[in-house]
Amino acid sequence: MRLGINIDHVATIREARGGLEPDPVTAAHIAEFAGAEAIVCHLREDRRHINDRDVRLLRETVKTKLDLEMAATEEIISIALDIIPDLVTLVPEKRQELTTESGLDIIGNRKTLQTAIQRFHKKDIPVSLFLDPVDEYIRLAHEIDADFIEIHTGEYANARTIQEASEQLEKIRHGAELARSLDLGVNAGHGLNYANIKPIARITEIEEVSIGHAIISRAVFTGLERAVRDMADLLIRYSNNDDISAPED
- 102-127: per-residue pLDDT in tens? 789 999 999 999 999 999 999 999 99
Asked if 177 is an active-site residue, the reply is: no
Which residue among 155, 190, 205, 208 is the active-site one? 190
Which residue among 9, 32, 49, 69 is the active-site one? 69
Residue scoring higher pLDDT (177 or 19): 177
Residue 249's pLDDT band (cuts 50, 70, 90): very low
Residue 87: strand, helix, or coil: strand
Asked if 121 is an active-site residue, the reply is: no
**Every domain of the chain and the residues it spans:** 2-239
Say if CB 59 and CB 83 are below 8 A apart.
yes
pLDDT score recorded for residue 99: 54
Kindly provide the residue ranges of all beta strands, DSSP E only, lying in the chain, ordered along the sequence. Answer: 2-6, 38-42, 66-70, 87-90, 127-131, 148-152, 185-189, 208-211
Which residue among 42, 93, 155, 208 is the active-site one? 42
Residues 24-74: pLDDT tens digits?
999 999 999 999 999 999 999 999 999 999 999 999 999 999 999 999 999
Asked if 150 is an active-site residue, the reply is: no
pLDDT score recorded for residue 102: 75
Which class would CATH give 2-239? Answer: alpha beta
Residue 239's pLDDT band (cuts 50, 70, 90): confident
49 secondary structure, DSSP code: S
Residue from 126, 170, 120 nearest 148 by CA: 126
